[in-house]
């Protein structure tokens, strides 16, 4: 009897059909059986979507990993176009900035809504305290409509509109991560990063690759049990560059346990209002 295909949901919570093609982009990760066995009991497959988050806590905690000028940078130090990391968790978020991007003086968003991993962007609700909030919910906000960036361009002097369909309030994925050197006993700084709208498809494909088939069962595994390679690639949509994410291997049980404390810290970090560091 054929095994049932799993119901896979993308970063916005929508159902995604199992890919028919066998391209590298959508090939599922295939670990050795021994690798799966040694991770048993470390996580609940039914809860891989992450933990619930409250409204944004404000302030600045973990630094932002920024793909500035096509190179990953942390604390303004270039790290290259390729990084091996562990992704602890992710959330969906909507971000509206009422000022044009200035790399010398980054500013917090005027309005921001943070959701659960996999929650649809339209269902998010911004805190009442945000000065740029013009609607009780993102679903009814005119800034979230397709083409709103061009329609309201005068409200953000100096803002560059890269597409007639762009939204004034953008849909993002925020991830919490740490450099792979931490697994080797290093002192790598944990960080957060924003995956821009032009790279959301790449993140969806990454999640598809974390669905592992074992003994006829298909199970979506959480990012934090993988070593993941982040790459910046040129010319993605209307953006000059975009993200690529590739699972390299399963972590060992010792590695996952070593990351446990940082993973707990990542949950509130994902709900913070972060300074903007990319266009």
Q: What is the pLDDT along the chain (279 residues), one digit of tens a residue?
A: 444 444 444 444 444 433 333 334 445 566 665 566 666 666 655 554 444 344 444 555 788 898 877 889 888 889 999 999 999 988 888 988 887 777 677 777 888 888 877 788 888 888 887 778 888 899 999 888 888 887 776 667 666 666 677 888 889 999 999 999 998 887 788 999 999 888 888 999 999 888 877 667 777 888 999 999 999 988 656 667 788 999 999 898 889 888 888 888 887 788 776 555 443
> Is residue 3 a part of any domain in this protein?
no
Collapsing DSSP to helix, strand or coil, 231 comes out as strand
Backbone angles phi, psi at 253, to 5 degrees: -60, -40
Q: Do 156 and 98 touch, CB atoms closer than 8 A? A: yes
Q: What is the pLDDT of residue 5?
A: 44
> Is residue 2 a part of any domain in this protein?
no
Distances (CA, A) of 107 to 99, 116, 118, 174, 215: 8, 24, 27, 17, 50
Determine the Cα–Cα distance for residues 195 and 185; give it in Å rounded to an integer.
Answer: 28
> Is residue 278 a part of any domain in this protein?
no
Q: Do 213 and 3 touch, CB atoms closer than 8 A? A: yes
> Is residue 70 a part of any domain in this protein?
yes
Please tell me the chain's helix, strand, coil percentages from 3-state DSSP, rounded to the nearest 5. 25, 30, 50
Domain count, the chain: 1
Determine the Cα–Cα distance for residues 117 and 46; give it in Å rounded to an integer.
Answer: 13
> Is residue 211 a part of any domain in this protein?
yes
Determine the Cα–Cα distance for residues 109 and 96; give it in Å rounded to an integer.
Answer: 6
Helices (H), ranges, the chain = 33-37, 148-151, 200-209, 253-258, 260-269
Determine the Cα–Cα distance for residues 267 and 54; give it in Å rounded to an integer.
Answer: 10
pTM, to two decimals: 0.78
Range of the domain at 122: 8-269
Collapsing DSSP to helix, strand or coil, 202 comes out as helix
Q: What is the pLDDT of residue 48?
A: 45
Residues 6+ apart with CB under 8 A from 268: 53, 57, 61
Determine the Cα–Cα distance for residues 18 and 178; give it in Å rounded to an integer.
Answer: 30
Contacts for 46-49 with beta carbons within 8 Å, 24 or more apart? Answer: 48/220, 48/221, 48/222, 49/116, 49/117, 49/118
**Within 13 Å of residue 70, how many CA atoms lie on the same side as its CB?**
7
Query: Which structure tokens are listed for 104?
Result: 């010398």
Determine the Cα–Cα distance for residues 238 and 167; give it in Å rounded to an integer.
Answer: 13
């Amino acid at each position: 009897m054929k095994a049932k295909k799993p119901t896979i949901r993308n970063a916005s919570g929508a159902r995604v059909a199992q890919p028919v093609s066998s391209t590298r982009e959508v090939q599922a990760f295939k670990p050795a059986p021994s690798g799966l066995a040694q991770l048993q009991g470390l996580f609940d497959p039914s809860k891989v979507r992450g933990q619930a988050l409250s409204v944004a806590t404000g302030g600045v905690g973990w630094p932002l990993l920024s793909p500035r000028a096509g190179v990953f940078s942390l604390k303004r130090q270039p790290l290259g176009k390729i990084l091996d990391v562990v992704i602890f968790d992710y959330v969906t978020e909507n971000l509206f900035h009422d000022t044009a991007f200035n790399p010398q003086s980054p500013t917090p968003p005027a309005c921001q809504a943070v959701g659960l991993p996999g929650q649809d962007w339209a269902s998010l609700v911004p805190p009442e305290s945000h000065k740029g909030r013009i609607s009780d919910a993102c679903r009814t906000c005119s800034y979230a409509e397709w083409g709103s960036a061009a329609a309201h361009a005068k409200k953000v002097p100096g803002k560059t509109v890269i597409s007639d369909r762009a939204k004034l309030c953008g849909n993002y994925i925020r991830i919490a991560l740490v450099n792979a050197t931490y697994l080797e006993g290093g002192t790598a700084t944990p960080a957060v990063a924003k995956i821009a709208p032009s790279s959301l498809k790449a993140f969806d494909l990454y999640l598809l690759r974390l669905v592992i088939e074992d003994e006829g069962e298909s199970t979506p595994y959480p990012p934090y049990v993988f070593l993941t390679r982040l790459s910046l690639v040129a010319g993605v949509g209307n953006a000059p560059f975009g993200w690529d994410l590739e699972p390299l291997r399963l972590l060992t049980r010792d590695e996952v346990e070593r990351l446990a404390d940082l993973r707990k810290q990542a949950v509130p970090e994902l709900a913070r209002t972060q300074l903007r560091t990319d266009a």
